[in-house]
Amino acid sequence: MKVDVSKLKGFVGEENVLTDALDLYIYGTDASVHESLASAVVAPTSYEQVQQVVRYANAELIPIVPRGSGSGMSGQAVPIKGGIIIDLKRLNRILEIKPEDMLCRVEAGVVDDDLNRAVKPFGLFYPPAPASSRVATIGGEIANNASGVRSVKYGATRDSVLGMKVVLANGELVTLGSNTRVEASGYQVDRLMVGSEGTLGVIVEATMLLKSLPKFRCLGRVCFNKLSDAGECISDVIASGRQPSMLELMDNIAITAVNTTLDMGLPDVEAIIMFEADGMVKEAVDFEIEEMKKICEKHNGFDIQTSYDLKERTKLFAGRKKLFAALSRYKDGLACTSLADDMAVPYSKMAVLADKIHEIAKKNNVVMTAYGHCGSGCMHTKILMDPTRKEQWNDARNAVKEVYDFVYSVGGTTSAEHGIGISKAPSWKQEKKDSLDLLRKIKKALDPNNIMNPGKLQDAPDDWVTATPLRYSAH
């Protein structure tokens, strides 16, 4: 596999190609623990340029790795088989905002927050809201099927995708989906692209659904002395038909992390739930909040605070918002790694999963926390470990396996929103073991030469620890 750089420069212009060893080293990383080197990075400025690069790569059997902002936490954009990285950030135009149709059409490299800033004057918002929305691109969010704190009400990225333009592995540009809220029969290939992590094609444009900004938003916070009470409360809120716009859990480790590192002054209890309702009619929001308060009290929740005021809400939510970063400073010498960090389980299993995470962490000499968008079934955790000690990576490997063994035993799934990439692929392959053959056939049909982000998902290595060099100096 030899990349002809002069050809790439001919396709996208000399100023849009990087081949310097250091540039490639940097582009060989993302927000995950993995690193691997590509042969070149190209930053096309048109769909035609993407097509030219992909056609060339397909003819020469060179891997292609599409990349947005590199905020993926599982190694989705790490070029595990080398090849050409297509940096899509220069395709960053908002092509259309149509308030009358409640949709927008954007190029793949548009940043989520930039889109939200653009649609806000129309009284609209783009709902998925992953925590990385400040840098994450729409194309990356689609390829990863991202979601976030409000997905409990507004769904994941897949629920906002109406259509898209994709450059397939043979260089063909196809239009998938529609401009309408509903579309009936026929292969829903646009849906197939959602969450495909760049393994089926390069998403270059998307038509996305927008929602009206709610006029009223009320946030509540409730404390629990038992983590399992909080878990059961979450399950009950959803099962009782309530419609929270946010339903978040924080365990005691998470509370301690934000209190010690950010001096947040959160109550030192076993668990906190944050619940929110929003809507156009205040009485309806009041009703939802009151009903959720009753459920919290039923599950021994106490010290309930609620507020409509933006400043108050920001204060109440600050601890949760800054949690990931706070965890990285939980204890000197421990790094906060994104491993086994976003499993989803049925609501009724949330409480038992939270307890199990702590049990597994203790057994394997690592620190793990249980928090997340539990209202949408997503449990976040991080593995806090000393990355400079090789044995800790074995501990992490064992903890990841045990967590996922448990998740599958209760009917859960590997990743709710951060994607599979490299680090979650071994577990995901275990979860999907009876459909791996089908997945490989689909991949083969769309990408017969296996050039699109090869070595990921069903084709990823079986051991994530040795799959690539890891970012920390112990490896």
Question: Where is 95: in which H helix or E strand?
Answer: strand 94-98
Q: Two tokens at 119?
A: 């649609």
CB-count burial class (<10 Å; 0-12, 13-18, 19+) for 293? middle
Interface of this chain with other proteins, residues 335 to 364, rule: CB under 8 A = 335-336, 338
Return the beta strands (E) in 320-361 as ranges.
335-337, 342-344
CB-count burial class (<10 Å; 0-12, 13-18, 19+) for 186? exposed
For other proteins, which is the closer residue by CB, 58 or 133? 133
Interface of this chain with other proteins, residues 134 to 163, rule: CB under 8 A = 134-135
Can residue 173 be called a binding residue for other proteins (CB under 8 A)? no
- Minimum distance between the CB of residue 376 and other proteins, rounded to whole angstroms? 21
Q: Two tokens at 45?
A: 């400025």
Can residue 105 be called a binding residue for other proteins (CB under 8 A)? no
- Minimum distance between the CB of residue 106 and other proteins, rounded to whole angstroms? 15
Q: Two tokens at 367?
A: 């620190």
Contacts of 187 (CB under 8 A, 6+ apart): none
Among 5, 94, 97, 118, binds other proteins (CB under 8 A): 118
Can residue 471 be called a binding residue for other proteins (CB under 8 A)? yes
Q: Convert 53-70 to b/e letters by CB count within 10 Å (16 or more is b).
A: bbbbbbebebbbbbbbbb
Give Cα 247 to chain centroid, integer Å: 17
How many residues touch other proteins under the rule CB under 8 A: the total is: 45
Where does this chain touch other proteins (CB under 8 A) — which range of 216-224, 280-288, 328-336, 369-377? 328-336
How would you classify the pairing of strands 216-224 and 302-307?
antiparallel
Contacts of 51 (CB under 8 A, 6+ apart): 167, 171, 172, 173
- Minimum distance between the CB of residue 308 and other proteins, rounded to whole angstroms? 19
Give Cα 443 to chain centroid, integer Å: 22
Quick check: 82 and 1 in contact, CB under 8 A? yes
Can residue 319 be called a binding residue for other proteins (CB under 8 A)? no
Among 8, 31, 209, 255, binds other proteins (CB under 8 A): 31
Where does this chain touch other proteins (CB under 8 A) — which range of 21-29, 46-54, 205-213, 271-279? 21-29
Where does this chain touch other proteins (CB under 8 A) — which range of 63-71, 97-105, 187-195, 459-467? 63-71
Among 100, 332, 434, 437, binds other proteins (CB under 8 A): 332
Can residue 287 be called a binding residue for other proteins (CB under 8 A)? no
Among 69, 245, 381, 413, binds other proteins (CB under 8 A): 69
Can residue 182 be called a binding residue for other proteins (CB under 8 A)? no
Quick check: 3 and 40 in contact, CB under 8 A? yes
d(CA 106, CA 95): 5
Where does this chain touch other proteins (CB under 8 A) — which range of 17-25, 100-108, 147-155, 396-404? 17-25
- Minimum distance between the CB of residue 128 and other proteins, rounded to whole angstroms? 17
The DSSP bridge partners found for residue 42 are 17, 86
Binding site for other proteins (CB under 8 A): 18, 20-23, 25-27, 29-32, 35, 41, 43, 69-71, 87, 89-90, 117-118, 120-121, 132, 134-135, 322, 324-325, 328-329, 332-333, 335-336, 338, 387-388, 469, 471-473, 475
